[in-house]
Structure 1
Amino acid sequence: HSPRRLALVGRLRSAIDNGDLHLQYQPQVHLADGRPCGVEALIRWRQPDGSIIAPSEFVTVAEHTGLIHGLTSLVISQAVERAARWHADGMGIRVSMNLSAHNLADASIVDHFAALIEQYRVPPGLLLVELTESAVIDDEERGITMMRRLRDLGLGIAIDDFGTGQSSLSYLTKLPATELKIDRSFIQPMTTDRAAQVVVRSTVSLAHSLGMRVVAEGVETIEQRNMLRAMGCDIAQGYLYARPLEVRGLELWMDEQRPSLRRSTADRLDGRFGDERLRAGLPGAALPTER
């Protein structure tokens, strides 16, 4: 425990207690027609000097110090509240959020979701929880139990980073998941790597046969998009469409992509996007691992 790490733990604990962390949202779109269909909530910790500590750094610290439970609670609370606001404003998009492997033993998470759904009157079908393939494999019993309880509430379940773990096809049939997210390590080389193409095509076919949607992560080029579309992949997420955005930036992006998405006109712009786009975070900054 270096002095720097101990200082980081103390600052992170204060940030969680004070609600100083916030979410950005990366859009997801239907590959068939490009319509926005959802967002992934991504935690951000902005420092007083404007710099951002990478989630890969502080989430790991949270997992090893017991702070992950407070951090996850904060993410869930902010994401569900935002989903409820967008629903009230006529934005029919779902919000997905990530759970850590360390959350699988925390039964209170399901109760937290249930309380927030009742408090905000948000349709549970607009909420989706992402668990990495490796997290579920490492704690299969707890993972499947957690997934079933969340499904009973009406939430969607996504297996994130699919293809990077060691799961077998028979194992996949046991999971009460509604969605598979293909890891970007297969999407990036697929236009030139035949093996990657085979993995992606097989995953799409397998998921569909099990009644799951398929999301491709890290889509950055038109060629990747076209190939995924031809393979029948359902949803894409990546820099080709948008980086993770602040709330206002996302709403601007949604307005530009699909004006009919939002019925309310109370918060719409008059067309002068320049300065406000910058304040809203467009095009936005993100870590390469979140493309």
Structure 2
Amino acid sequence: KVDTRTHKLVGAEALLRWRDQYGKLVSPTDVIPILELSGLIIPVGEQLITQTCMTLKRWQEQGLQLHLALNLSAKQLQDSDIVETFERNIILTGCDPSLLQVELTESILMKDVKLALDTLTRLQTLGLKIAIDDFGTGYSSLAYLHTFPIHILKVDRSFVKDLPFCADSITISKAIVELAHSLNLQVVAEGVEDKHQAAFLNSINVDELQGFYFGKPMPIQDFETHFLPNNSKNHSPCWESAKQ
């Protein structure tokens, strides 16, 4: 993720990737439903939380203040131990919880409002930031924005892909930014793939950008090699690198 004001790297998203017996990557859209149906999403998710916290701590020890986001599925949100899992890993690793972001879609939140509110409130108490992923594609009511302890709205890529040439996408993206900022929420645009999209989103005051324009998903070792060298308190000029 890149800050639109400084044009520098400020964070990343931890993604679950699975390889088959031949070493080929399997699409998350195929893997996640299987993990959820089998119940394996809980132990696999716990491993991802552990790795995310360990990575954050390692970066902190290098003087970096990069945040890391990870997605929670419906099954994980329903797990009675999910908050304790985060708390345990934060304590064991000593990572800064304010740099840890949890992303959920609108539809997941609305499956069980009471449970979601309780869980997210407890996660916020731990110091985590809560982000709504794929904003604008799910629940039709906006009332939940002041019901849940939300910090970040992520503009869905479907509104970004036709920018800045589609009038409807322009109108919708501007409205989302204005709405979010009026509620003191941060705005992240995902699916940014070219300089025209990046420039337009910057012009309407989106806070952070994420997408292939800056870097495609890669193993953590490759990410650190490409983006973190000489990257102490002043993070690498990620935007300028993308333009080259």
TM value normalised by structure 1: 0.77
Q: Shift of the alpha carbon at 1:261?
A: 2.7
Letter paired with 2:92: Q
Aligned match of 1:115 in 63, 70, 88? 88
Which protein is bigger by CA-based radius of gyration?
1
Match for residue 232 of structure 2? 261
Match for residue 31 of structure 1? 4
2:126 aligned with 1:153, yes or no? yes
CA distance in 1, matches of 2:192, 2:208: 10
* Deviation >4 Å, runs of 4+: none
Letter paired with 1:79: T
Aligned match of 2:140 in 149, 164, 167? 167
Q: Shift of the alpha carbon at 1:246?
A: 1.5
- Secondary structure of 2:5's partner? coil
CA distance in 2, matches of 1:49, 1:171: 44
CA distance in 2, matches of 1:58, 1:72: 13
CA distance in 2, matches of 1:181, 1:261: 27
Show the 5 A alignment for 1:196-275.
196-255=169-228, 259-261=230-232
Q: Shift of the alpha carbon at 1:139?
A: 1.9
Aligned match of 1:93 in 56, 59, 66? 66
CA distance in 2, matches of 1:51, 1:262: 37
Letter paired with 1:93: L
Contact 2:163/2:196 (8 A) holds in 1: no
Match for residue 287 of structure 1? none
- Secondary structure of 1:150's partner? helix
Deviations 1:28-80 (A, max 9, x none): 11012211111100011123432111121111111112121112111111111
CA distance in 2, matches of 1:145, 1:153: 13
Match for residue 241 of structure 2? none
Match for residue 5 of structure 1? none
CA distance in 1, matches of 2:226, 2:149: 33
Structure 1 residues not aligned, in runs of 5+: 1-27, 264-291
Aligned match of 1:124 in 89, 97, 114? 97
Show the 5 A alignment for 1:181-192.
181-192=154-165
CA distance in 1, matches of 2:137, 2:144: 14
Letter paired with 1:106: D
CA distance in 2, matches of 1:136, 1:69: 18
Contact 1:89/1:262 (8 A) holds in 2: no
CA distance in 1, matches of 2:150, 2:159: 21
- Secondary structure of 2:89's partner? helix
Deviations 1:89-126 (A, max 9, x none): 11210111100012222121110111111111111101
Deviations 1:136-188 (A, max 9, x none): 02221111111111000000000000000123222212121110001100000
2:41 aligned with 1:68, yes or no? yes
Letter paired with 1:123: D
Match for residue 10 of structure 1? none
TM value normalised by structure 2: 0.91
Letter paired with 1:178: H
Match for residue 278 of structure 1? none
- Secondary structure of 1:34's partner? coil
2:152 aligned with 1:179, yes or no? yes
Structure 2 residues not aligned, in runs of 5+: 235-244
Contact 1:255/1:262 (8 A) holds in 2: no
Contact 1:254/1:261 (8 A) holds in 2: no
Q: Percent identity?
A: 36
Show the 5 A alignment for 1:42-61.
42-61=15-34
CA distance in 2, matches of 1:261, 1:204: 30
Contact 1:151/1:157 (8 A) holds in 2: yes
- Secondary structure of 2:11's partner? strand
The count of aligned residue pairs is 235
CA distance in 2, matches of 1:97, 1:171: 21
Match for residue 8 of structure 1? none
Match for residue 106 of structure 1? 79
Cα RMSD, aligned residues only? 1.7
